[in-house]
């Protein structure tokens, strides 16, 4: 049976990457049924209202095997359903350098690691409010042992780390380390959080990670406080294999990880749950370059490749992977962020030309 994939091109410059990438995917004639949505503003117009558009997106996602998602500035819906609705708890963000990627490091050879970011908890649950709301609660600092002063005008945000949420993402990371080890990887899991200051929440993340990693004696385990880890990420990214961390650190440090290989234009991601996965580049909508058609589609294309892997099209994965490597090694059709002058679609044309030669 054909796999069903929803394509949501996203907002600002994101569709300028997504649309030529979808053309590449279609040219492979895979057994995939594509359902393509318009971008945010256009979608609301076409469906008559915000809620009708959101409902159509949700229904299409529910009937699909996976979604390829362009970045959103909030105008295109779907993201909450893809994340919390589908419980896609593990955000996998690989950083692998290839010859031709414009890394700022002197010697980027051998950078090949994956950040697994917990995707549903932490400070990203959207629970914030006025400080005064906490006045009636017994909130005390473990540091000063004093109750929280709720008299100043201010805001709070809630950070939630659960045992179950941590255990499932760490297991996922361990399984990934095992898969990578079977293909010649280091067989190592690194866990990072701010467990010295956030003793309860990040302390729990650390404790559950340690416990869970013991179930995988074939995987080496190490842990660092997140500020120390940030330095290691830049100074010796080659030492890393699979790194697991809570949501906020994962969001920030995966942009840094992308920086080590040559920038946001090169960094894909996939968000996996028990029964569903969707794929999106880690970059945002790049509003500063909208309409210029210079956005680098590599991140979107490699995210699509992760999706094809999830949907079990291994030959297509190998072909695209090879074609991307060739385009970069060749260096003649690179986008501006990689030191070239090719447009987004010229880059994709070069990939298609390489694909035509790789069977
Ligand atoms: P978000 O918070 O949604 O992740 P952001 O604030 O991190 O978004 P981005 O949209 O990721 O912002 O863009 C950051 C910078 O990187 C911008 O200058 C943007 O143009 C550039 N950028 C992002 N993605 C790409 C890409 N694929 N190709 C070229 N430049 C990009």
User: Do 107 and 46 meet the contact criterion of CB atoms below 8 Å apart?
Assistant: no
Distance 188 CA to ligand 1 centre (A): 30
pLDDT tens digits, 149-176:
999 999 999 999 999 999 999 999 999 9
Residue 72 pLDDT greater than 80, yes or no = yes
User: Which positions ≥6 away from 45 have C-beta within 8 Å?
Assistant: none
- The residue ranking higher by pLDDT, 247 or 143, is 247
Which tokens sit at 250?
A: 């994962």
Distance 285 CA to ligand 1 centre (A): 6
Task: Please report the atom of ligand 1 found closest to the CA of residue 251.
Answer: 4
In this structure, the residue with its CA closest to atom 4 of ligand 1 is: 284
The whole-angstrom separation of Cα 198 and Cα 206 is: 11
Task: Please report the atom of ligand 1 found closest to the CA of residue 285.
Answer: 10
Domain 103-121+161-261 has CATH 3.40.50: yes
Distance 29 CA to ligand 1 centre (A): 31
Own/partner pairs, 54-58, CB within 8 angstroms, 24+ separation = 54/78, 57/6, 57/8, 57/81, 58/85
Amino acid 90: pLDDT: 98
Task: Please report the atom of ligand 1 found closest to the CA of residue 336.
Answer: 29
User: Which positions ≥6 away from 29 have C-beta within 8 Å?
Assistant: none
In this structure, the residue with its CA closest to atom 1 of ligand 1 is: 284
Spell out the alpha helix ranges (H) of the chain.
14-27, 40-47, 50-62, 79-80, 163-182, 201-213, 226-235, 247-261, 298-310, 314-330, 344-357
The whole-angstrom separation of Cα 10 and Cα 75 is: 8
Amino acid 349: pLDDT: 97
Residue 38 pLDDT greater than 90, yes or no = no
Distance 283 CA to ligand 1 centre (A): 5
In this structure, the residue with its CA closest to atom 21 of ligand 1 is: 286
Residue 44 pLDDT greater than 90, yes or no = no
User: Which positions ≥6 away from 109 have C-beta within 8 Å?
Assistant: 97
Residue 40 pLDDT greater than 80, yes or no = no
- Enclosing H/E stretch for 93: strand 90-96
Which tokens sit at 301?
A: 């294309």
In this structure, the residue with its CA closest to atom 8 of ligand 1 is: 284
User: Do 316 and 302 meet the contact criterion of CB atoms below 8 Å apart?
Assistant: no
Question: Residue 9: which pLDDT band, with cuts at 50, 70 and 90?
Answer: very high
**298-310 helix and 314-330 helix, angle to the nearest 10 degrees:** 160
- The residue ranking higher by pLDDT, 171 or 47, is 171
Residue 50 pLDDT greater than 90, yes or no = no
Residues with C-beta less than 6 Å from any ligand 1 atom = 17, 71, 264-265, 283-286, 288-289, 295-296, 299, 337
In this structure, the residue with its CA closest to atom 22 of ligand 1 is: 286
- The residue ranking higher by pLDDT, 45 or 292, is 292
Distance 220 CA to ligand 1 centre (A): 34
Distance 288 CA to ligand 1 centre (A): 8
The whole-angstrom separation of Cα 221 and Cα 206 is: 11
- Partners of 192 in beta bridges: 224
In this structure, the residue with its CA closest to atom 9 of ligand 1 is: 284
Task: Please report the atom of ligand 1 found closest to the CA of residue 288.
Answer: 20
Distance 256 CA to ligand 1 centre (A): 12
The predicted model scores a pTM of: 0.95
SS3 call for 61? helix
Distance 284 CA to ligand 1 centre (A): 5
Q: Ligand 1 pocket check: which of 76, 255, 283, 302 to mutate, most ligand atoms within 8 Å of Cβ? A: 283
User: Do 324 and 274 meet the contact criterion of CB atoms below 8 Å apart?
Assistant: no
Quick check: do 1-93+266-359 and 103-121+161-261 share a fold? no
Question: Residue 359: which pLDDT band, with cuts at 50, 70 and 90?
Answer: low
Domain coordinates of the chain in residue numbers?
1-93+266-359, 103-121+161-261, 123-158
The mean pLDDT of the chain is 96
pLDDT tens digits, 216-230:
999 999 999 999 999
pLDDT tens digits, 81-138:
999 999 999 999 999 999 999 999 999 999 999 999 999 999 999 999 999 999 999 9
Burial of 324: CB neighbours in 10 Å, binned 0-12, 13-18, 19+ = buried
| Window from 70-84, 253-267, 317-331 with minimum mean pLDDT | 70-84
Question: Residue 321: which pLDDT band, with cuts at 50, 70 and 90?
Answer: very high
What is the secondary structure of 277-321 as a DSSP string? EEE--SS---GGGTTSS---THHHHHHHHHHHHHTT-HHHHHHHH
Distance 12 CA to ligand 1 centre (A): 11
State which fold the 1-93+266-359 domain adopts. Isopropylmalate Dehydrogenase (3.40.718)
Distance 215 CA to ligand 1 centre (A): 38
φ/ψ of residue 252, rounded to 5: -70, -50
The whole-angstrom separation of Cα 244 and Cα 249 is: 10
Residue 258: how many other CB atoms lie within 10 Å: 24
């Amino acid at each position: 049976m054909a796999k069903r994939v929803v394509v949501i091109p996203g907002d600002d410059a994101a569709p300028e990457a997504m649309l030529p990438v979808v053309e590449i995917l279609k040219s492979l004639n895979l057994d995939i049924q594509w359902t393509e949505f318009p971008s945010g503003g256009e979608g609301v117009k076409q469906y008559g209202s915000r809620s009708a558009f959101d409902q159509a997106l949700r229904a299409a996602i529910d009937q699909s095997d996976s979604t390829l998602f362009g970045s959103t500035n909030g105008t295109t819906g779907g993201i909450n359903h893809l994340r919390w609705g589908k419980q896609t708890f593990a955000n996998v963000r690989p950083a692998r350098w290839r010859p031709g990627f414009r890394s700022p490091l002197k010697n980027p050879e051998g950078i090949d690691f994956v950040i697994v970011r917990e995707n549903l908890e932490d400070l990203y649950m959207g629970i914030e409010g006025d400080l005064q709301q906490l006045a009636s609660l017994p909130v005390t600092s473990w540091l000063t042992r004093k109750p929280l002063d709720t008299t100043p005008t201010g805001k709070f945000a809630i950070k939630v780390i659960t045992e179950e949420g941590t255990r499932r993402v760490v297991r996922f990371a361990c399984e990934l380390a095992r898969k990578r080890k079977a293909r010649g990887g280091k067989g190592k899991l690194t866990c990072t959080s701010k467990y010295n200051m956030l003793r309860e929440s990040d302390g729990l993340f650390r404790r559950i990670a340690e416990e869970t990693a013991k179930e995988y004696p074939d995987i080496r385990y190490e842990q660092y406080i997140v500020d120390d880890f940030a330095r290691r990420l830049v100074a010796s990214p080659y030492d890393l294999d699979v790194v697991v961390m809570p949501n906020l650190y994962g969001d920030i440090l995966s942009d840094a990880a992308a920086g080590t290989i040559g920038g946001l234009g090169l960094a894909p991601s996939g968000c996996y749950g028990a029964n569903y996965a969707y794929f999106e580049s880690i970059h945002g909508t790049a509003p500063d370059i909208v309409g210029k058609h210079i956005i680098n589609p590599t991140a979107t294309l490699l995210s699509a490749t992760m999706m094809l892997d999830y949907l079990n099209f291994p030959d297509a994965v190998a072909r695209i992977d090879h074609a991307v490597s060739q385009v970069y090694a060749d260096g003649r059709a690179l986008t501006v962020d990689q030191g070239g002058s090719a447009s987004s679609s010229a880059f994709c044309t070069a990939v298609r030309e390489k694909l035509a030669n790789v069977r």
